[in-house]
A and B are shown apart, each in its own frame.
Chain A
Amino acid sequence: MIFSIFTKSIKEQLRNFWILILTVLMAPFFVFVYFLINESSQPHYDILVLNLDQGMQQGGTQLTLGDSIVPALKDHIVSMENAPLDIKSTPSRERAVHDLETRKAEALLVLPAEFTQSIMGPDPVAAEVEIVGDLTSTGYLISAVWLGALVENYLADISQKAPLYSVKETALGHSDQVDEFELFIPGMLILSIIMLMFSATVAIITEVDQGTILRLKLSGMKAWQFLIGVGATQVIVGILAILLTLATAASLGFEMRGSLGSFFLIAILTSISMIAFSLILAAMTRSVTDVLVVGNFPLFLFMFFTGAAFPISASPWFHVGNYGVSWQSLMSPSAAISALNKISIMGMALGDVWGELLVLAIVTVAYFLLGLWSFNKRHLQTN
């Protein structure tokens, strides 16, 4: 009986073309959109240098540090891999301020007339350089920090003094190899399964909408048999959707760093969770039209408050393993996204995410119990 329901459900799903397309293509579409956003918004900071340095005579020759600072800073930038900076000279303060105001540059470094004298003169004093910019701009803040470090390095070079400290940066997991686009992918992968909410609910509620639930009830079919038959189809749709999303992400540069087995386990668990949630949604609706209207509310919640579309993280109430349980955990995709982040970005093993898996399983069981009770009460009861 379950196999008959499963094969019937597969046929209907394949013939319900538009719902299938909506379910499997939504997340790949979002991946592509994030890729485009990421590509068009790579950070880049232009820094201007206004050289007013008059220099000084040293051993019969004119020495002007200001003249050599721009090429020297550029050399430093080259030595700093991936630093998104560009240093340019500017002829006047007025021109520089105009460029800052029109966002053609983020910061202006002004070298004073006595710059060389202050550093290289017989009585060295601290050279007073000026940094100009819009203090409310994040671009300025980042540029100013970079600029401070660059000037410090330059001065250490010319004064031939060893730096007082050096910094060694250690990346956590594979975070040194991950760009901003890749950080969004685990959320997108789970979004592809969140979309299952629509096709699963439609598959269930269609039987109510077209009245065929009556025929199924007369056949003596049990609710759990129906749910397993329909659910199996939806797990396949869920796997298809997440694979398509993963393929899209991989083709745009995403690299899966954890094990594929762990990835599939999380995908299947999340699919089952969404099917369980679909039962609750089916209990709240009577027709396919209802599903497409009412279903948007949980979709928004799951999309925007679980970290699927934006990285939101609430303060935890308590911890299960390494997973912080918060109000977000009431939405099962939240735990799934956390687990997938750790596996696909940090390269962690399944044992490192047992907290997430446990919470995901508990919330799924809660969804199932609530869904089964409410669906039975609304659509299967005989009084």
Chain B
Amino acid sequence: MITVSHLKKNFGELIAVDDLSLEINQGEILGFLGPNGAGKTTTIRMLCGLLEKDGGDISWDTTQNLSEAMGVCTQENIFWPRLTCLEQLIFMGQMHKMSRIAAKSRSLEILDVLGLASKKDTLASKLSGGMKRRLNIALALVHDPPVLILDEPEAGLDPQSRILVRDLIQSLARKKTVILTTHNMDEAERLADRIAIIDKGKLLEVGSVEDLKQSLGTGDFLEMRFRDNLESMFQNEDSAAWQLKQSLESTPELSAARINFSGDKLTIRSTQALEKLSLVTDAVGTVDLEILDIQLRKTTLEDVFIHLTGRALRE
């Protein structure tokens, strides 16, 4: 188990990581989510030993040096363009104190798993974008690290490669501790045993996907998309959007529902959302608005994420 206690990091006035405490269980896949600038990369760099912490502690329950026990697949593809795929995997294995024979055998195995066996003697600079990404993952795996950090592993991959990488990550479950950072909620939801959501350097929530969804309360989402931008109409109290808002908020059956207007979208979160649909369409019928699309869906991880981190754009 990796234990992170009261981790802190400042860059001048900016508090990048603020008293972050987290336990990462051995063999679990932890999704590490957060908006841009939330402090994910800073936390991971401290975990790897690439950045000194200003406070707190990182420990794990073996004698092995944590940073040397990690395999890191960075967000950017980092490899040696003038070495072939096999050459650089063997080199990286040797740098992690593997013998040349063991490093070669492991490299060939990883290349095969990642569909790069036929490219083993190709210079890395000559690979396609998706292949470079897979090579980047291979470089993180070659020394068979017990802890694997995958930073946006599916970024830039075509659908076939994405499935291959996803299968690989799933196959690592229980064998390795995987920390997966991603903006792709679907990816996190499919792969992660637990999700940690971080923003402004603070850990906001951590738990299984189901636990996080439950934290939003029960109910489903009813979403309607309109031809007009409703949000921009709220400045005028005579507008159709304003009248619709008033009408919905005064409907007794919707008093417990969460009603949100965003852009051209109206979202209502409520128990038995399907039964509320006729009430809403009736209310829309009384004002001059045209519905383009209606969706009824379950709570997603993205809903949790937006609920916790807000909608404001990040720099």
Residue of B nearest to A4 (CB): B94
The complex places the Cα of A370 from the Cα of B91 at a distance, in Å, of 29
Q: CB of A211 within 8 A of chain B?
A: yes
Cα-based distance from A99 to B165 in the complex (angstroms): 87
B residues 70-87 with Cβ under 8 Å of A?
70, 72, 74, 76, 78-83, 87
**Does the CB pair B50–A8 fall under 8 Å?**
no
Would you list which residues of chain A between 1 and 15 have a CB under 8 Å from chain B? 1, 4-5, 8, 11-12, 15
Q: Is A383 close to B, CB under 8 A?
A: yes
Given A1-B95, A214-B78, A219-B96, A8 and B70 touching (CB < 8 A)?
no
B186 within 8 A of A: no
Contact A215 B50 (CB under 8 A): no
Q: Which residues of B contact A218 (CB under 8 A)?
A: 48-50, 67-68, 70, 72
Inter-chain contact B81/A4, CB cutoff 8 Å: no
A289 at the interface (CB under 8 A from B): no
A16 and B50 CA atoms in complex are apart in Å by: 29
Interface pair A382/B51, CB less than 8 Å apart? yes
Does B214 have its Cβ within 8 Å of any Cβ on chain A?
A: no
Interface size class of B (residues with CB under 8 A): 20 to 34
Residues B49 and A11 in contact, CB atoms below 8 Å apart: no
B48 to A215, Cβ gap below 8 A?
no
A210-B81, A218-B68, A218-B72 known; A8 vs B97 contact (CB < 8 Å)? no
CB distance from B172 to the nearest CB of A (A): 18
Given contacts A218-B67, A218-B68, A220-B65, contact A210 B97 (CB under 8 A): no
Contact A215 B82, beta carbon cutoff 8 Å: no
Query: Distance (Å) between the CB of A5 and the closest chain B CB?
Result: 8
A212/B78 in contact, CB under 8 A: yes
| In the complex, A216 has a CB within 8 A of chain B | yes
User: Do residues A210 and B51 form an inter-chain contact, with CB atoms below 8 A?
Assistant: no
A8 — which chain B residues lie within 8 A by C-beta? 80, 83, 87-88, 91
> B123 — nearest CB in chain A belongs to which residue?
A15
* Bound-complex Cα distance A16 to B80 (A): 12
Question: Knowing A212-B78, A215-B78 touch, does A4 contact B91 (C-beta < 8 A)?
Answer: yes
Task: Tell me whether A383 and B52 are in contact (CB under 8 A).
Answer: yes
Name the residue of chain A whose CB is nearest to the CB of B46: A382
Residue with the highest number of chain B CB atoms closer than 10 Å, among A8, A16, A218:
A218
Q: A257 near B: Cβ within 8 Å?
A: no
| Number of inter-chain CB pairs below 8 Å | 64
* Cβ contact within 8 Å between A383 and B87: no
Residue ID in chain B nearest A220 by CB atoms: B68
* Interface pair A382/B96, CB less than 8 Å apart: no
Residue of A nearest to B90 (CB): A4
**Chain B residue nearest in CB terms to A221:** B95
Shortest CB distance B94–A (Å): 4
- Known A-B contacts A1-B95, A1-B97, A11-B83; the reply to A219 vs B68 at CB < 8 A is yes
Bound together, the chains give a CA A2 to CA B268 distance in angstroms of: 63
Cβ distance A293 to chain B, nearest Cβ, rounded Å: 21
Inter-chain contact B95/A212, CB cutoff 8 Å: no
Q: Which A-chain residue is minimally distant from B96 (CB atoms)? A: A219
Q: Which of A4, A16, A221 has the most CB of B within 10 A?
A: A4
Nearest residue (CB) in A for B80 is A212
A15 and B82 contact, Cβ closer than 8 Å, known pairs A218-B68, A219-B68, A220-B68: yes
Contact code string A328-355 (vs B, CB < 8 Å = 1, else 0): 0000000000000000000000000000
A215: B residues at CB distance < 8 A: 72, 78, 92, 95, 139
Distance to closest chain B CB from A285 (angstroms): 19
A7-43 interface bits toward B, Cβ cutoff 8 Å, 1 = contact, 0 = none: 0100110011000000000000000000000000000
Complex Cα gap A220–B65 (Å): 9
Instruction: A221 to B79: give the CA distance in the assembly, Å.
Output: 16
For A382, the chain B residues whose CB sits under 8 A away are 49-52
Tell me if A319 is interfacial: C-beta within 8 Å of chain B.
no
Q: Is A377 an interface residue (CB 8 A)?
A: no
Produce 1/0 per residue, B243-259, CB < 8 A to A. Answer: 00000000000000000
User: CA of A95 to CA of B241 in the docked complex: distance in angstroms?
Assistant: 109
Contact A211 B78 (CB under 8 A): yes
On whether the beta carbons of B82 and A16 are closer than 8 Å, the reply is yes
Task: Add 19 more A-B contacts to A210-B80, A383-B51 (CB < 8 A).
Answer: A1-B94, A1-B97, A4-B94, A4-B95, A8-B91, A11-B83, A12-B80, A210-B79, A212-B79, A214-B78, A215-B92, A215-B139, A217-B50, A218-B67, A218-B70, A218-B72, A221-B95, A382-B49, A382-B50
Closest CB pairs A-B (n = 6)? A219-B95, A4-B94, A211-B78, A15-B82, A383-B52, A12-B82
